[in-house]
Structure 1
Amino acid sequence: MATAYSEISPTQLMRLIGTPEAPVLIDVLSDDDFTLDPRLIPSARRHHPDQILHLLPELAGRRVVVICQKGKKLSHGAAALLRNHGIAAEVLAGGNWAWRDAGLPLVPVASLPQPHSGGLWVTRHRPKIDRIACPWLIRRFVDPKAQFLFVPPAEVTAVAEKFNATPFDIENTFWSHRGPSCSFDVMMTEFGLTTPALSRLAAVIRAADTNKPELAPQAAGLLALSVGLSRQYKNDIDQLEAAMPLYDAFYRWARDAHDEGHDWPAVKN
């Protein structure tokens, strides 16, 4: 599909999602169209087109991609409005239908905790692997504005109820281990994010989190780095922020370089 200067193709956009360079994705589908297929492109959030200018303060300096059903009037009109106010806004070529037809992942809205944007999650303090990997997945693919609370294990359930937060990686909750699957596996599946790259990354996380290094040789490195970060940072939020680039790098390995090796001396042609 040829794209206009103000458009980005589904393939190009998928290469950006999950990375620190990902644009802000704004879904402007009509309610009727969205009801027909209530799923979102990963990290997108819904806004009515006539409310689009209310987002200007938070979009300043950001790259934006606007999405509608077919990539026509709603998304082009909203993107043009944003460009009039200095926002670098593009349209997803072909819209949601082109994304769907390309077989790219879509997140079922029914799986998303409320609110869909800026949601609050809570888990046990002093995280190591799963409790860092899950926030990375949520922020990169589900809710870039998500907030995370780290509290003593005995207080997770009460904090979740008191602050309307979603508990995760704690026993007897929805977002937690299921059989051999760790919480990251569960989120990847429930959010419709079972891509080859994330599945490859999930295997490493599962191996490190469940002490089964035989499942993935990279698990030993992830475990060492995770334990090191937990010792380096006393504040769990500082640890999470420091670990985000680590998981960004693991994701790029899983997506683009999982079959690449390294040796010494270098082979000379």
Structure 2
Amino acid sequence: MAAPNEITPAQLLRLIGTPNAPVLVDICIDEDFAADPFLIPGSFRHPHRDIDGLKARLDGRRCVVICQKGIKLSQGMAAWLRNDGIEAEYLQGGMFAWRTLENAPRIPASALPAPVGGSTLWVTRHRPKIDRIACPWLIRRFADPKARILYVSPSEVAGVADRFGATPFDVEDVFWSHRGPLCTFDTMLDEFGLRTPALDRLSLVVRGADTNRHDLAPEAAGLLALSVGLSRQFKDDHQQLEAGMTLYDALYRWARDGQGEGHDWPADRTA
């Protein structure tokens, strides 16, 4: 019988990338992590002995605790947190089980930029349209939920990156940008190891809209129209990003679960 504070890898996989995903806490000991330096998307590392520090980071939010095998470390931590009023679960089988789950991505820890003030810091051109909304959505849903995004004048991206330690993206001559026919969203999928069927499907739509290749996916034209509309609806780039998060949440669920669904009226019309 499953424990009441246990979540299976398959159950967790369904939550990752959605707004309802719990906070993911990796408490693997340093030796185990050094031998396999990968993270479940959206998770952060925390020492298992620093329970008060973890409680402060959680701030009462639901969490899943992850260790190497899903036994003493994660079960003990989850039980302690639940005793202190935090809804906590442990990952059944830990990282060992996650590695065997089909289409379960793992992010190389080395791919994540060094945090600045507790979270990753990214900078790009202001007045975003497609890549500069899609990439922050991907970062926050799969890499760093607390990532901060700076939108600045195109001529100032490099200077801001240098002065503030931010990681530039979607500008020319930087690591996180277009590569050949692929857009920055594709680059992030490749570098973060996130090439799942759903995100691959979504990437075709993003790439088609961002590079004016609507032949790649019929949905690309619709994404372009919605992106232009959002850019004209919001003067503030961060308000536009928040609205765009909802848009890409919906697109991701379409790409994951709903791409085969059509619609007609009346509903019972026959061919």
Partner in structure 2 of residue 114 of structure 1 = 114
**Aligned partner of residue 172 in structure 2, secondary structure:** coil
CA distance in 1, matches of 2:240, 2:171: 19
Which amino acid in structure 2 is aligned with residue 18 of structure 1? G
C-alpha contact (below 8 Å) 1:53/1:82 kept by paired residues: no
Partner in structure 2 of residue 97 of structure 1 = 96
Identify unmatched segments of 5+ residues in structure 2: none
Instruction: State whether structure 2 residue 164 is matched by structure 1 residue 163.
Output: yes
Residue 160 of structure 1: CA displacement? 0.2
CA distance in 2, matches of 1:141, 1:52: 24
Partner in structure 1 of residue 262 of structure 2 = 261
Of the structure 1 ranges 148-157 and 109-118, higher mean CA displacement relative to structure 2 is found in 109-118
Instruction: State whether structure 2 residue 39 is matched by structure 1 residue 72.
Output: no
Partner in structure 1 of residue 37 of structure 2 = 38
CA distance in 2, matches of 1:3, 1:107: 28
**Aligned partner of residue 91 in structure 1, secondary structure:** strand
**Aligned partner of residue 119 in structure 2, secondary structure:** coil
Return structure 1 stretches of 4+ with deviation > 3 angstroms.
none
TM-score, normalised with respect to structure 1: 0.97
CA distance in 2, matches of 1:85, 1:241: 32
C-alpha contact (below 8 Å) 2:106/2:193 kept by paired residues: yes
Partner in structure 1 of residue 149 of structure 2 = 148
CA distance in 2, matches of 1:54, 1:168: 32
Which amino acid in structure 1 is aligned with residue 141 of structure 2? R
Residue 72 of structure 1: CA displacement? 0.5
Measured against aligned partners, the alpha-carbon deviations of 1:151-188 in whole angstroms (never above 9, x if no partner) come to 01110001000000000000000000000110000001
Measured against aligned partners, the alpha-carbon deviations of 1:71-116 in whole angstroms (never above 9, x if no partner) come to 0011011111211211000000000010001131100011110018
**Aligned partner of residue 115 in structure 2, secondary structure:** coil
Aligned residues between the structures: 268
Measured against aligned partners, the alpha-carbon deviations of 1:185-216 in whole angstroms (never above 9, x if no partner) come to 00011101000000000000000000011111
Instruction: State whether structure 2 residue 84 is matched by structure 1 residue 85.
Output: yes
Q: How much is the aligned-residue C-alpha RMSD, in angstroms?
A: 1.3
CA distance in 2, matches of 1:4, 1:59: 22
Measured against aligned partners, the alpha-carbon deviations of 1:51-76 in whole angstroms (never above 9, x if no partner) come to 13213234234210000000001101
C-alpha contact (below 8 Å) 1:27/1:44 kept by paired residues: yes
C-alpha contact (below 8 Å) 2:46/2:54 kept by paired residues: no
C-alpha contact (below 8 Å) 1:133/1:184 kept by paired residues: yes
Which amino acid in structure 1 is aligned with residue 112 of structure 2? L
CA distance in 2, matches of 1:170, 1:32: 38
Residue 268 of structure 1: CA displacement? 5.6
Residue 218 of structure 1: CA displacement? 0.5
CA distance in 1, matches of 2:2, 2:26: 19
TM-score, normalised with respect to structure 2: 0.96
Residue 27 of structure 1: CA displacement? 0.2
CA distance in 1, matches of 2:243, 2:213: 25
- Identity level (%): 64
Residues 232-243 of structure 1: matches in 2 within 5 Å? 232-243=233-244
Identify unmatched segments of 5+ residues in structure 1: none
Partner in structure 2 of residue 55 of structure 1 = 54
